[in-house]
Copies of this chain bind each other. A is one copy, B any other.
Amino acid sequence: MIRSVFIAKDGTVRTDLQLADFPGALHDPTGILWVDFEATPPETDEPTLREVFGFHPLAVDDALQETHVPKIDDWDTYLYIVLHAVTFDPTDGGHVDTLELDVFLGRNFMVTHHDQSIAAIEKVWEACLRDERMWKNGVDYIAYRLTDEVVASYMPVVEAIDEAVDRAEDEVFGRPTPDVLEDIFTLKRAVLHLRRIIGPQREVLNRLARDDYAVIDRRARVYFRDVYDHLVRLHDITESIRDLVSGTLDTYLSVINNRMNDIMKTLTIITTLFMPISFVTGFFGMNFFQPVAEALKPWADLPVFAIAMAIFILTPVAMFFWIRKRGWT
């Protein structure tokens, strides 16, 4: 789907432009043209981007065919910017995905290209149609709003991951199962993926805020610096989460070993208590003793039996104190 909006100097908003109207719109330095390509076939986009807008073949190739990390290329009369919006389905085990958004930004136009619908695009598009503050500050202000919306969408995702790490941690201490391990691993992957996107994206915004680009007004830079500050914070948080996730893995192992310790203690105590006295029952169960036993029918007042009973009672008591002394309980 290709859609476009042209805002003339006097504030007239036109959304009915055809392909043939673009060159005219581009040549009006006082108007603002925004063309959005969503899920369009590369074959038809390519001639439009190259011939109508005159973009460099390399930039067009990057936009149409390949997956890139966020970057910014300065082609003098326009900037080619790759951003990544984020999608996150909390019901889907914390799987994080990013959607590439290609932006061509000129002095009086912006071309956006993406394969899936991106919420940030919709929001800014709606605002352009309704809110005149959007275009009064020029097309670079619209670009700022777009980057701002894209970046703002990361915060709930990062916070959801942070909470998921918290929950995983609680589970590790409470009920460490292999499922928690898998959750932790999924979170690790998600955080690594986010870092891989947020890092270069931060760099893109840093350059928008600091470098001297022909198409970006000096005064507009403070806006990009604001978005940059958000990305710095996001990056710091993902770093912390990554650190915590590693710690959670270590903790899991410690908790599991702690439990094993507990289990082994029980096993050892039971064995320590019963094995010696079981031997004693075996001893007196040997057939050597049977004749003796027969001779001693009034069994209750026998010293041998009393000795056996004493062993049965005293051995566990002695073991108990020995175990206690070793500090196991």
Chain B residues with CB under 8 A of A308: 286, 288
The size bracket of the interface on A is 35 or more
Docked CA distance A239–B259 (Å): 31
Docked CA distance A62–B264 (Å): 56
* A contact residues vs B (CB 8 Å cutoff): 56, 58, 61-62, 67-69, 71, 73, 169, 173, 175-178, 181-182, 185, 188-189, 192-193, 196, 199-200, 222-223, 225-226, 229, 232-233, 236-237, 239-240, 243-244, 246-247, 249-268, 270-272, 274-279, 281-294, 296-297, 299, 302, 304-305, 308, 312, 326-328
Docked CA distance A312–B259 (Å): 28
Docked CA distance A276–B271 (Å): 9
Asked whether A282 lies within 8 Å of B290 as measured between CB atoms, the reply is no
Can you name 17 A-B pairs with beta carbons within 8 Å?
A67-B233, A173-B178, A173-B181, A196-B236, A249-B251, A253-B257, A257-B260, A260-B261, A262-B326, A263-B264, A270-B271, A274-B278, A277-B279, A279-B281, A289-B299, A290-B293, A291-B294
Given contacts A196-B236, A244-B189, A274 and B284 within 8 Å (CB-CB)? no
Choose one: B169, B192, B278; the contact of A278 (CB below 8 Å): B278
Choose one: B177, B232, B278, B293; the contact of A69 (CB below 8 Å): B232
Docked CA distance A257–B256 (Å): 7
Asked whether A222 lies within 8 Å of B286 as measured between CB atoms, the reply is no
| CB of A75 to closest CB in B, whole Å | 8
Docked CA distance A284–B308 (Å): 12
Docked CA distance A137–B276 (Å): 84
Docked CA distance A198–B312 (Å): 65
Asked whether A297 lies within 8 Å of B291 as measured between CB atoms, the reply is yes
Docked CA distance A111–B299 (Å): 96
Asked whether B247 lies within 8 Å of A188 as measured between CB atoms, the reply is yes
Given contacts A278-B282, A288-B293, A261 and B261 within 8 Å (CB-CB)? no
Choose one: B188, B255, B276; the contact of A181 (CB below 8 Å): B255
Chain B residues with CB under 8 A of A328: 263
The residue on B at minimum CB distance from A178 is: B258
Choose one: B58, B223, B244; the contact of A192 (CB below 8 Å): B244
| CB of A264 to closest CB in B, whole Å | 5
Chain B residues with CB under 8 A of A299: 288-289, 291-292
Chain B residues with CB under 8 A of A192: 240, 243-244
Asked whether B270 lies within 8 Å of A275 as measured between CB atoms, the reply is yes
Docked CA distance A285–B293 (Å): 12
The residue on B at minimum CB distance from A239 is: B196
Docked CA distance A287–B196 (Å): 74
The residue on B at minimum CB distance from A188 is: B247
